Structure 1
Amino acid sequence: MNEYLLMLADAIFGFIALFALVKILGKTQISSLTPFDFISAVILGELVGNALYDEEAGIPKIAFLIALWGLLIYITEIITQKFKGSRYLLEGQPSMVIHKGHLVYDVLKQNRLDIDELQHMLRSKDVFSIEEVEYAILEADGEVSVLKKPEYQTPTIADLNLAPKPVKIGRVLISDGEIVWDNLKEASLNKTWLEEELHKQNVQSIEDVFYAEWQENQQKLFVALYHTKKKRQN
């Protein structure tokens, strides 16, 4: 029983320590995975995992391993910021796989990227034909950035010579049958107004709504109802 309690304490401490380490190092460590980030994550997980199942390891040893690895990552980040040349070695560099509408075969081969994988990555960017692409860059984190040919680009407000309108974010007012009060207040709205808007769309109860979003630009309430159950289960 004592062994399980010790494992529980080690696991909880390891979780909290890793979470704190990510917060200290910043969001860039988890926003995208470069090859160095991937290796760091694997090794850090291995260190903590081995410490958890080592009978002689305890919280002090786990703390030391996490602190040591966090320090190494922090030092590496400082080096990449101060010495530009080290970034390419540790983080990799972008590679242009499509240049002026032409596939760059040597770059594809160098990055071990076949045409099927490239097409899959382009489709994730809403590009369903290589013919539409003027430039495509394979980023260091494995994502692809795309610049379409002029004839396939979406026209902007400036292209159409239209007067720009202020951009306003949509606010979630109902989530899983419950009102998001903070958003309702920030939008200067109230429950009475919300119920009236729902009634206009033939919705009788807030609990029938799975998701509702106030689209301020259009002065419109988007409503999505439950379709798999008639009544929300408490």
Structure 2
Amino acid sequence: MNIFYLTMELIVAFFLLFILIKILGKKIINQITPFTFIAAIVLGELLGNALYDEKAGLFYLIYSMVLWSLLLLIAEYLGQKSLKLRLLFEGKPSVLIRNGIVNRDQLKKNRMNINQLQSLLRQSETFSIREVAYCYLEANGSISIMKKSPYQKTTQEDFHKAPKQVHIPVTLIRDGELLSDELSDLGRDEDWLMIQLKIQNVTDVRNVFIAEWLENEGMFVQTFDEV
């Protein structure tokens, strides 16, 4: 391969990749979802093949990377506009432990066993399942843990206080769409939800950017006008 031509391709690829990362955002670097993980791999493969394939010229390099990035931007835009497409592209967290009880169905659904769960817990400085109130498997494969009250880090305010029951926040409305499954899991209905929204001076679910319920603290609401 001509050294001069390879040098030109590398220079163009360097600046093109820099511009594309700036446009696509940090998600492609962090790979926070399976979709962005695969997208980053394919982008790297396109770049590598275009650089070292003698039949592929500079036009092929630019065209393939720009087209792939354009497809990623379209997918990102559709995900911002549609909650259903967002769930399709990004996935949904799975509750592996709820109220201290391991959810075997969710483990099987995510093709995990108890040993793998314990390993992930230990990596998060949690060495016993008995310490965990809630454990979520995020879309990127990491876990998020809320410990039971006796095992949480203490502050001065916690001394000489009786253990409190731990509650997890539940998102009931996201991007103007009611999350019926979450509402059902909470054991509530839409009439109850509308009452809670009216207390916050909100009358239409479609005006709500996010609504989150936390036991003992009530409803947290932010409308599209506020954000």
TM-score, normalized by length of structure 2?
0.65
Corresponding residue number in structure 1 for 2:105: 106
Corresponding residue number in structure 2 for 1:205: none
The 2-side partners of 1:158 and 1:23 are apart by: 44
Corresponding residue number in structure 2 for 1:127: 126
The 8 Å contact of residues 31 and 40 in structure 2, kept in 1 or not, is answered as no
Corresponding residue number in structure 2 for 1:209: none
1:70 aligns with 2:69: yes
The 1-side partners of 2:155 and 2:140 are apart by: 29
1:79-129 per-residue CA deviation (whole Å, 9 max, x = no partner) reads 001000111211111000001111111101110112222122112221111
**1:14-33 pair list within 5 angstroms:** 14-33=13-32
What letter matches 1:91 in structure 2?
E
What letter matches 1:153 in structure 2?
Q
What letter matches 1:127 in structure 2?
T
The 2-side partners of 1:79 and 1:14 are apart by: 28
What letter matches 1:128 in structure 2?
F
Corresponding residue number in structure 2 for 1:89: 88
The 8 Å contact of residues 27 and 36 in structure 2, kept in 1 or not, is answered as no
**1:159-174 pair list within 5 angstroms:** 159=158
Tell me by how many angstroms 1:63 deviates: 1.3
Corresponding residue number in structure 1 for 2:142: 143
Aligned pair count reads 160
Three-state SS of the structure 2 residue aligned to 1:29 is: helix
Change in 2 beyond 3 A, CA 1:136/1:60: same
**1:205-216 pair list within 5 angstroms:** none
Q: Which has the larger radius of gyration?
A: 1
The 2-side partners of 1:31 and 1:8 are apart by: 29
Corresponding residue number in structure 1 for 2:37: 38
The CA RMSD over aligned residues, in Å, is 1.8
What letter matches 2:88 in structure 1?
L
Change in 2 beyond 3 A, CA 1:7/1:157: farther
Tell me by how many angstroms 1:66 deviates: 1.3
Tell me by how many angstroms 1:131 deviates: 0.9
What letter matches 2:74 in structure 1?
I
Three-state SS of the structure 2 residue aligned to 1:141 is: coil
Percent sequence identity over aligned pairs: 46
Three-state SS of the structure 2 residue aligned to 1:146 is: strand
**1:162-201 pair list within 5 angstroms:** none
